[in-house]
């Protein structure tokens, strides 16, 4: 897959972030309300972390390990969030993950991007299954998955361990799983 891939939706362009996006990513992802329901987002979030992440994204496109896009509003060009997919070729499936800056929540942006990512996984990567997981205390994320066509598949108790020293946060989190099969998507 080519690193310069651009996906389009009605209101968004999805393309890999560039180093010039580091400050903006730091500002949006630095909000604990955004970070706390993700598994791996560091907090506090430093610019150097965004720069390293952007480099990691470029490397991962090259190896096919991950395909991560930034979400840009078509109207303003503003970066409003990120969404990525991690393929598992052995099992012909891919997991997606995402975040949207808090000031943009509740406007359907994550759903719009997730629907496009579903097409990317099935049409461009040619895989058989797409899946995503969410912390049970994050119903908005489950809703995004379902609106993107995924079916709720169950909950694993205390499945993820989220730790943030700065917030004195250390929890084993019940985790919900959603998935969509190519055969169901094609119907």
Ligand X SMILES: CC(C)(COP(=O)(O)OP(=O)(O)OC[C@H]1O[C@@H](n2cnc3c(N)ncnc32)[C@H](O)[C@@H]1OP(=O)(O)O)[C@@H](O)C(=O)NCCC(=O)NCCS
Residues of the shown chain interacting with ligand X in the complex, contacts defined by CB under 6 A: 34, 37-38, 98-100, 105-111, 134, 138-141, 143-144
Q: Give the distance, in angstroms, between the CA of residue 33 and the centroid of all CA atoms in the same chain.
A: 15
Query: CB of 161: closest distance to ligand X in angstroms?
Result: 15
Q: Which is nearer to ligand X, 2 or 154 (CB)?
A: 154
Maximum distance among all Cα pairs of the chain, rounded to whole angstroms: 47
* 128 vs 138 by CB, closer to ligand X: 138
Minimum CB–partner distance for residue 2 and ligand X (Å)? 26
Distances (CA, A) of 19 to 29, 62, 87, 166: 15, 17, 24, 26
User: Is the Cβ of residue 43 or residue 129 nearer to ligand X in the bound state?
Assistant: 43
Q: Give the nearer residue to ligand X in terms of CB position, either 3 or 143.
A: 143
CB of residue 80 vs ligand X: minimum separation in angstroms?
8
Asked if residue 44 has a cis previous peptide bond (ω within 30° of 0), the answer is yes
Which are the contacts of 27, defined by CB distance < 8 A and separation ≥ 6?
none
Measured between alpha carbons, how far apart are the two ends of the chain, in Å?
26
| Sign of the alpha-carbon torsion through 79, 4, 55, 167 | positive
Question: CB of 72: closest distance to ligand X in angstroms?
Answer: 14
At closest approach, how far in Å is the CB of 56 from ligand X? 18
Which lies closer to ligand X via its Cβ, residue 90 or residue 146?
146
């Amino acid at each position: 897959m080519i690193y310069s891939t651009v996906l389009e939706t009605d209101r968004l362009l999805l393309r890999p972030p560039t180093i010039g996006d580091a400050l903006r990513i730091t500002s949006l992802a630095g909000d604990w309300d955004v970070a706390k329901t993700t598994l791996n987002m560091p907090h506090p979030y430093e610019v150097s972390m965004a720069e390293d992440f952007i480099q990691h994204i470029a490397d991962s496109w090259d190896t096919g390990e991950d395909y991560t896009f930034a979400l840009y509003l078509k109207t303003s060009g503003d970066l409003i969030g990120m969404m990525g997919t991690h393929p598992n070729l052995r099992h012909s499936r891919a997991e997606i993950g995402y975040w949207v800056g808090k000031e943009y929540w509740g406007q359907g942006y994550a759903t719009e991007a997730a629907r496009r990512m579903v097409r990317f996984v099935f049409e461009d990567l040619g895989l058989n299954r797409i899946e995503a997981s969410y912390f049970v205390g994050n119903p908005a994320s489950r809703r995004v998955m379902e609106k993107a066509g995924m079916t709720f598949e169950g909950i694993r108790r205390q499945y993820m361990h989220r730790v943030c020293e700065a917030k004195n946060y250390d929890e084993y989190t019940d985790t919900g799983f959603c998935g969509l099969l190519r055969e169901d998507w094609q119907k």
